[in-house]
Structure formats: structure tokens, C-alpha cells
Amino acid sequence: SERHRVPRRVPQHARARKMSASQPKKTSNAGVIVVAVVSSALTAAVGLLAKPFVRTQTADAPPLVTASPKTKSRKSIVRKLYREVWNNVDLSSAEKSAEKYVSEDHVLIDPSNPNPVPGTEAYMESVRGNREALPDYVITIDDLIEEGSKVVAQLSFKASLNEREARWTGTCVMEFEEKEIVRTWINTDAMSALIQLGLMTDLVNDGNVKLRPVTQALMGRSEAHPETVLTGKDWLQYFEEVHESWERNSTADSENAAALKHDSNTGLDVVV
């Protein structure tokens, strides 16, 4: 007789492996997402490399410094002011230009003037006064500095009177509201101009001897006023030449002093 066969029991983990092997494998959604992200990033990187580099402003990056349109405009106005108003021999034309650049509320801040008058007309009175007294009066802008609503002009002046020529310097600070000048501070070496034009004597070495230290302190010099005054780049060039000459003389003096410390007859060093 045939023996009754008992089916062999398959372990559960073996059955699981068999079922897993018989079923098609499923792709993980997470893996698809990761691959897509990496592919997208690489594509973007290649695209950036293919494009020209353009610097962009970020929160951590230093600010991009660009010239303000107002800065350019204000400096341009100051240049036009001196060219079209102060250096213009046609006073009618100068007045029209002044009305464009100088506010009706303009004030010239000058502590030595006891009765300051505001307005464009008062500004033009100064222009007319200078032009009528010194017909060949010329102002040169040596430098312009802008800070906030103010523009500072470093100036050189030139004029002649009775065959005598004068050159002097000055500084002017102009405060703006929009594109109009509302306040002006002006400082010029008027005393130097008066001396050069023969309208006053040089007080540095004249007058009361006891008061000369005061005069020299206020004038900033103890030597007589130079016959020829240089301004702007001419003065800077003169200073460089003087400085180089001083250095040459200083070197020569040092060499001469070193030679004096040695006795050429005995060959011995001299103790000074």
C-alpha cells in the first residue's frame, strides 16, 4: 500500500522570498524624485556656465557703488554756474543763467556782511560788482567735492588792475535743494589780491614791531608776500620742485658733514 504522503512544510521566510522573486520589482518614488532633482540641478548649473557672468546684489554682498544722478547733476550745475554766470562778460546772459541755478530764497552766509540780502538779485549784485571792478576777472574750478546736499568748490581767481595782475585762491560751499542753490559760504584770500593789485601794503613786516607776531600768525607767514602768486596745479608743481631741491641740498649737506668728520691728512676720524 502506498504510504500517505504528508506535504512538506515550507518555511514562511522562504515563501516570502519566492513570492518576491516571482513579482516584478517596483521602482521607489523617492528614488525617482532624487534623480529628478539632481538632474534638474545639473541642467541649471550647465545653463549658468553657458551664460555670461552677471554680478547680482545680495544681502551679504558689498553694495554696488554707483554715482548718484543727483551728484552728477549738482556738480554739473556748479560748473555751469561759474562758466555761465561768474565768467560771463555778458551780464544779461549771466542773470538769465543765475535764475536757473540760484534759488529766490538764496542766502550768502558772510559774517562780515552786516546786512545780508536774500534772493537771486542780491546774488547777481556780487557778480556785477566783480565784473565792473575787474573786467577780466576769471574763476577756475580746481576741484569739486560732493557730500550730501552740498558741493564744495576749490577755486583759483585771476584778475588785473592798472597793469598789475593778481592770482589768489578761495573755497566755496553751496547747499542745494533739488537743483537750486539755496545757501553759499565763500572764503577767499582777498588780502593777497589787494596786496598784488597794489591796493594795500603787506602788513607782515610793517607797522608796530610788537604786533608783528600777531600779524604773522593771522597771515600764516613771516616772509614778505611773493611778487608772483601761483595757484592750483601751478603751485603744486612749484612745491614739488622746491621739495626736490631741498632734498638735494639736504643730501649734499649730509655728505659734507660726513667729510668733515674725517681728517684727510692724518686719516683719522674727527670727533665732533
Cell of residue 128, nine digits: 556785477
Residue 148: its pLDDT value, please?
Answer: 94
Residues 6 or more apart whose CB falls under 8 angstroms from that of 238 comprise: 230
Cβ(125)–Cβ(109) under 8 Å?
no
pLDDT band of residue 252 (cuts 50, 70, 90) is low
pLDDT band of residue 270 (cuts 50, 70, 90) is low
What percentage of residues in the chain have a pLDDT greater than 90?
Answer: 46
- Per-residue pLDDT tens over the stretch 191-220: 999 999 999 999 888 878 888 899 889 888
The answer to whether the Cα torsion of 210, 214, 215, 217 is positive or negative is: positive
The answer to whether the Cα torsion of 101, 106, 112, 115 is positive or negative is: positive
Residue 79: its pLDDT value, please?
Answer: 97
* CA nearest neighbour of 258 among 272, 240, 248, 241: 272
Arithmetic mean of pLDDT over the chain: 78
Residue 267: its pLDDT value, please?
Answer: 63
* CA nearest neighbour of 174 among 146, 143, 189, 152: 152
- Per-residue pLDDT tens over the stretch 256-266: 655 556 566 66
Q: Is the pLDDT of residue 120 over 60?
A: yes
Residue 237: its pLDDT value, please?
Answer: 81
Mean pLDDT of the 63-74 span: 58
- Per-residue pLDDT tens over the stretch 3-19: 445 455 555 554 545 45
Residue 177: its pLDDT value, please?
Answer: 96
Cell of residue 143, nine digits: 576741484
Distance of alpha carbon 60 from alpha carbon 62, whole angstroms: 7
